[in-house]
Amino acid sequence: MASMLEDLSLLTSLHRQVVEESGRADLLEVTDALERRCRGEEEGDPAALVAALDPDTTARIARLLTVHLHLTNLAEERHRARSLRSEDGEYGGGADTGDIGPAVAAAGPDARERVERMRIHPVLTAHPTEARRRAVASALRRIAEHLDAHDDPGSGPSERARARRRMLEDIDILQRTSTLRITRPTPADEVKTVLTVFRQSLIHAVPRFQRAVEAAFGGDVRPGETPLPPIVRFGSWVGGDRDGNPFVTAEVTRETVRAHADQALEILHDAVDRVARMITVDEESTPPTAALRDALANDAAAHPRLLAEVTKDSPNEPHRQKLLVVAARLAATRDERAGVAYPGPDEALEDLRLVQDSLVAAGDARTAFGELQDVVWMVQTFGFHLAELEVRQHSSVHRAALVDVLGMLPDGDRPADAEAAADDAELLDRLAVDGWPELEGTPEGATREVLDTLRVMAWLQQRWGRRSCGRYVVSFSQSAADLVAVRALARLAVGDRPLSLDVVPLFETGADLDAADRTLEAWVALPSTASWLSGVERRVEVMLGYSDSAKDVGPASATLALHRAQVGLVAWAARHSVELTLFHGRGGSLGRGGGPLHRAIAAQPTGSVDGRFKVTEQGEVIFARYADVRIAEQHLERVASAVLLTDSPAHAASRDAALGRFEEVGSAVDAASRRTFRSLVEQPGFADFFAMSSPLDLLADLRLGSRPSRRSGSESGRSLDDLRAIPWVFAWSMTRVNLPGWYGLGSGLAALPSLEPAREAYREWPVFAALVDVAEMSLAKTDDELAAGFLRLGGRPELASLVLEELALTRRMVLELLGQSEMLERKPHLHTAVGLRRPFVDMLSHLLLRGLAEFRSAGEEAGSEWHRPLLLTVNGLAAGLQNTG
């Protein structure tokens, strides 16, 4: 098997051949010289070479470097996938690295019971952090397939030559394909992208994952046992998240679920049809049960033509006949043919289990729990809806809608102060429970859109089942009124018609996290909440926002505030006998809660997981974790292992002891780091300084997603409060400062009388270790010289000095704490990954710095010739840095 470096060498040589054949060997000469200077192999400042480039040459070099970085990412991804397939242990083999077996063994005698209760719930979002176009991703996927064929030991010389020719062709196409989006993607485009991930990977990864967990318990299902229930559920915000995105409407949400259902039914039909044509057991060798005979007789009465056809094609094969009927009915459901279509997935699942039971009764458990069980898991996991679509909206939008409709109440019911009434939780609760008087007017605009969204949710549940669209996430939840507002508006929208609505509070800022348990106390005291709780077996989801809290108080304080909030929420749930699921709004970037997910799970407070883990996945993280079937399976195994182990008695006792022992360390780091972070971002003119130091105002032109970068919808302006966390992190990563991942931690550590307690905390307290690890990775991607260059563009030397001084302090303190001479010294995979890309990322950074300086000094209109080169450079840096947003 080829090594990653061998793959990269091959891809690089093919890329150089393509560039030379295009007549642009001169570009290679420039990049080679730049690379030597960035590596320190040749004297001279890289900036001097870059200063001589015109905009057109800069753009061409940026494209060349971007392709190289895409190929580097591909080589690394393929090496990881091949390593997992060969089970060589490099990326697996332990509870901490993705093999579920050791975790099951370590979990003790009740492991199977705990796994049966486990629920892992990734939620895919459209947050715009994936800078690659779909055309680029498709070309890379084709190159990966050719690389596999070239690497296959069974390939002969002609097959390897063919694979090489095809790689050259696709690399040529990739080099000539624009990496920039011409138009901003619509929500429908984003839905298509997510559906591609399901179709190409997740539908295959889920059964493989279930099999891996079964194998940890011995493999084959034993007599009297049943297969494990599905462990994974998938959610999506794509087409449902309207917080700050005016393009996500009620109609978009309806069409999204329709697209989900169409994809799910096509997948299930194909899977059942394939298994049906495989299971050719006849009734003499494998006699059907009476229940299966009765079912076929009923099918003959209900669907005579269908049964006549399948009987003709499969005589004396009743199990196959029933499965072909199921496949035909799934196709009819997709086509919405009344009379033949299934009313829902439960009926299809019942038919599949009927066939399984009959096979088991006939002594053929192997066939019953073979490929057919994979299909059963698919139906249980994906239903007819594929992923559970969740609606999200900002609390201020609900408040504005309430002010609007409260003003339309009749004279006797209309409040004197509609704005005060919109914050009155008890009033809103009465409206939710008792209903609304008839309005004197018709809601329009944003208010009507809120009501239409709730009406569409009710319709979708009626058509595709409750799981299709039942959760409503309230961004910036700050009070009980913010939560009951949704239920009050729902009662106005749908009246007494059925609507299953799980309102999910999202706590995002430092202050909101600190007050989360108090907000929930007031919420559960309301009659409408109490009624809902009894109907959902007292199951409650609470979402925690990582990105806005980090932008609010800094990365170190945000991590510790989130931990405190979770401890408080676990206590709140225990007081109210609530089964709590914490929904973690983690981003892909290190500044937004990113990093190794299994380490993050291990850092959760005792009782906060309890077999349930829900998390957002977005942008480049979706493709990194789920685009390849084997990598997706391994990722799910890794998460399951962490979930299984994190609340084991040994882990819980160790974590609780560490929490008590190092609470003072955490408090001291929290206070000092928060103070340092706030003292920077509260400086007058800091927002302007940040915008001028970075390509912030250019990010909208990348057209990464349908959502504007600012909640107000404005693409410019100078307010950090209005700025979303994604562009905040993305822009800082472009400057090689990576401020959101580390700023304040150095001051926090320096505030300790000694680092020895912090070293012990790093070894023994998982949340503190996760905090330091994120900072270490962020610091590994910084560059002092380049950072200073970008910060100079801000025109505020005193602010630049504050940032650079804290950078130097944080680097020194983290290295001293870890006992290392360089970042990632003890993380060889990450060290190699960053090191492979660094010279090329540095080259792009020099191009970006020079281009921004030209663009700013000439003025936007005069410097417009630099606009496209700048966008190409930012796109390339996103490929090289990998976790930018």
pLDDT tens-digit series, residues 206-220: 999 999 999 999 876
CB 575 within 8 A of CB 606: no
Helix (H, G, I), strand (E, B) or coil at 415: coil
Q: Please report the pLDDT score of residue 707 as a whole number.
A: 59
Residues 375 and 519 in one domain: no
Strand partners, 710: 723
Q: Does pLDDT of 153 surpass 80?
A: yes
The answer to the question of residue 218 being in a domain is no
Q: Over 90: is that where the pLDDT of 869 sits?
A: yes
Nearest to 61, CA basis, from 45, 48, 44, 49: 49
Question: Rg of the chain's alpha carbons, rounded to an integer?
Answer: 28
Least Cα distance to 172 among 15, 57, 31 occurs for 15
CB of 563 closer than 8 Å to CB of 550: no
Please give the pLDDT value at position 132.
64
Claim to verify: residue 339 and residue 404 sit in the same structural domain: no
Same domain, 460 and 542: yes
What is residue 97's predicted lDDT score, i.e. its pLDDT?
46
pLDDT at 598: 76
Does residue 716 carry a pLDDT above 70? no
Do both 573 and 598 map to the same domain? yes
Q: What is the DSSP letter of 185?
A: P
**What span, in angstroms and rounded, lies between the C-alpha atoms of 324 and 637?**
33
Say whether pLDDT at 884 is over 60.
Answer: no
Region for 577 from its dihedrals, namely left if φ exceeds 0, alpha if ψ lies in -120 to 50, beta otherwise: left
Amino acid at position 34, single letter: L
Q: Could you give the CA distance from residue 220 to residue 286 in angstroms, rounded to a whole number? A: 20
Using the 3D structure, point to which of 331, 354, 382 is the last residue of a domain. Answer: 382
- Are 376 and 490 contained in the same domain? no
811/828 Cα distance (integer angstroms): 19
Alpha-carbon distance of 612 to 501, in angstroms, equals 20
pLDDT value at 296 more than 60: yes
Q: Tell me whether residue 598 is one of the annotated catalytic residues.
A: no
Would you state the pLDDT for residue 96?
Answer: 45
C-alpha dihedral sign at 662, 668, 671, 674: negative
pLDDT at position 628 over 90? no
Burial of 504 (0-12, 13-18, 19+ CB in 10 A): buried
Residue 129: per-residue pLDDT: 47
Assigned domain for 501 exists: yes
Q: What is the tens place of the pLDDT at every residue in 298-339?
A: 999 999 999 999 999 899 999 999 999 999 999 999 999 988
Burial class (CB in 10 A: 0-12, 13-18, 19+), 144: buried
Q: Are residues 394 and 283 in the same domain?
A: no
- Is 867 inside any structural domain? no
What's the distance, CA 120 to chain centroid? Answer: 13
DSSP class of residue 586 equals: -
In sequence order, which residues have a C-beta less than 8 Å from that of residue 329 and are 6 or more positions away?
303, 340, 341, 342, 348, 351
Tell me: pLDDT of 535 over 70: yes
Report pLDDT for 130: 54
Dist CA 306 CA 339 (whole Å): 12
Q: What is the mean pLDDT of residues 286-309?
A: 95
- The string of DSSP codes covering 300-355 is HHH-HHHHHHHHHHSTT-HHHHHHHHHHHHHHHHHTT-TTTS-SSHHHHHHHHHHH
Return d(Cα 190, Cα 333) in angstroms, integer.
25
pLDDT of residue 226: 85
Q: Give 698's pLDDT tier (boundaries 50, 70, 90).
A: confident
Same domain, 554 and 473: yes
Q: Which residue has the tokens 């939710």?
A: 432
856, pLDDT greater than 50:
yes
648 lies in some domain: no
Residues 6 or more apart from 678 whose CB is under 8 A from it? Answer: 553, 554
Residue type, 375: V
Residue 303 sits in a domain whose CATH number is 1.20.1440.90
pLDDT at 684 over 80: yes
* Contact call for residues 79 and 147 (beta carbons, < 8 A): no
Does residue 413 sit in the same domain as residue 364?
A: no
The arithmetic mean of pLDDT across residues 139-160, rounded, is 91
Q: How confident is the model at residue 152 (pLDDT cuts 50, 70, 90)?
A: confident
- At 510, is the pLDDT very low, low, confident or very high (cuts 50, 70, 90)? confident
DSSP state of 23: T
pLDDT score of 94: 42
Could you write out the DSSP letters of every residue in 424-459?
-HHHHHHHHHH--PPPSS---HHHHHHHHHHHHHHH
What integer is the mean pLDDT of 31-47? 94
pLDDT, tens digit, 9 for 90 and up, residues 791-839: 999 999 999 999 999 999 999 999 999 999 999 999 988 898 899 999 9
* Residue written as token pair 């309102």: 503
Report the alpha-carbon distance of residue 285 to residue 358 in Å, rounded: 12
- Cβ pair 190, 126 in contact under 8 A: yes
Q: Is the pLDDT of residue 883 over 90?
A: no
Q: Taking the CB of residue 349, how many other CB atoms lie within 10 A of it? A: 17
| Mean pLDDT of all residues belonging to the chain | 90
617, 651, 682: which is the final residue of a domain? 617
Averaged pLDDT, 355-383:
96
Does residue 736 contact residue 782 with C-beta atoms inside 8 Å? Answer: yes
* Residues 6+ away with beta carbon under 8 Å from 33: 42, 49
347 and 495 share one domain: no
pLDDT confidence band for 416 (50 / 70 / 90): very high
CB 700 within 8 A of CB 549: no
Amino acid at 282: D
What pLDDT score does 717 carry?
46
Residue entry with tokens 């200063």: 51
**Residue 404 Cα distances to 79, 242, 429, 452, angstroms:** 57, 19, 17, 15
Q: Tell me the CB-side half-sphere exposure of residue 212, using CA atoms within 13 A.
A: 28
Q: Which residue has the tokens 């094969």?
A: 317
- What is the secondary structure of 91-156 as a DSSP string? T-SSTTTT-HHHHHHHH-TTHHHHHHH-EEEEEEE--S---S-HHHHHHHHHHHHHHHHHH-TT--
Mean pLDDT value across residues 334-347: 93
Q: How many Å apart are CA 805 and CA 810, to the nearest integer? A: 9
Q: Nearest Cα to 207, choosing from 222, 237, 227, 226?
A: 227
Q: State phi, psi for 683 to the nearest 5 degrees.
A: -60, 135
**Considering only CA atoms, which of 614, 413, 634 is closest in space to residue 502?**
614
In a domain, 72, yes or no: yes
Question: For position 587, what pLDDT does the model report?
Answer: 59
Please say if the pLDDT value at position 287 is more than 90: yes
The amino acid present at 608, given as its one-letter code, is: S
By the 10 Å C-beta count (0-12 exposed, 13-18 middle, 19+ buried), 29 is classed as exposed
Within-domain flag for 582:
yes
Answer yes or no: is 249 within a domain: no
Q: Which amino acid is at 79?
A: H
**What number of other Cβ atoms are within 10 A of residue 843's Cβ?**
27
Question: Is residue 338 situated within a structural domain?
Answer: yes
3-state secondary structure of 728: helix
What pLDDT sits at residue 545?
86
Buried b (16+ CB within 10 A) or exposed e, 816-828: ebbeeeebbeebe
Long-range contacts at 82-90 (CB < 8 A, ≥ 24 apart) = 82/1, 82/148, 82/151, 84/630, 84/631, 84/633, 84/634, 85/630, 86/1
Q: Which one is catalytic: 68, 79, 127, 563?
A: 127
Q: What number is the average pLDDT over the span 285-305?
A: 95
* Least confident window among 454-463, 646-655, 674-683, 735-744: 646-655
Per-residue confidence band for 589, with pLDDT thresholds at 50, 70 and 90: very low
Tell me, yes or no, whether 565 and 429 share the same domain.
Answer: yes
- Alpha-carbon distance of 443 to 555, in angstroms, equals 42
Render pLDDT for 723-759 as a digit per residue (tens, 0 to 9): 777 788 889 999 999 999 999 999 999 999 999 999 9
- Reply yes or no on whether the pLDDT at 588 is more than 60: no
Average pLDDT estimate for 374-399:
97
Which of 335, 355, 382 terminates a domain? The answer is: 382
SS3 content of the chain, % helix, strand, coil (to 5): 65, 5, 30
Shared-domain flag, residues 263 and 377:
yes
Structure tokens at 427: 């009033």
The pLDDT tens digits for 562-582 are 999 999 999 999 999 999 999
Shared domain check, 669 and 593: no
Q: Are 8 and 67 in contact (CB under 8 A)?
A: no
As a whole-number percent, the residues of the chain with pLDDT over 70 amount to: 93
Domain count, the chain: 4
**pTM of the entire predicted model:** 0.90
Give the largest CA-CA distance in the chain.
88
State which residues form the domain around 327: 259-382
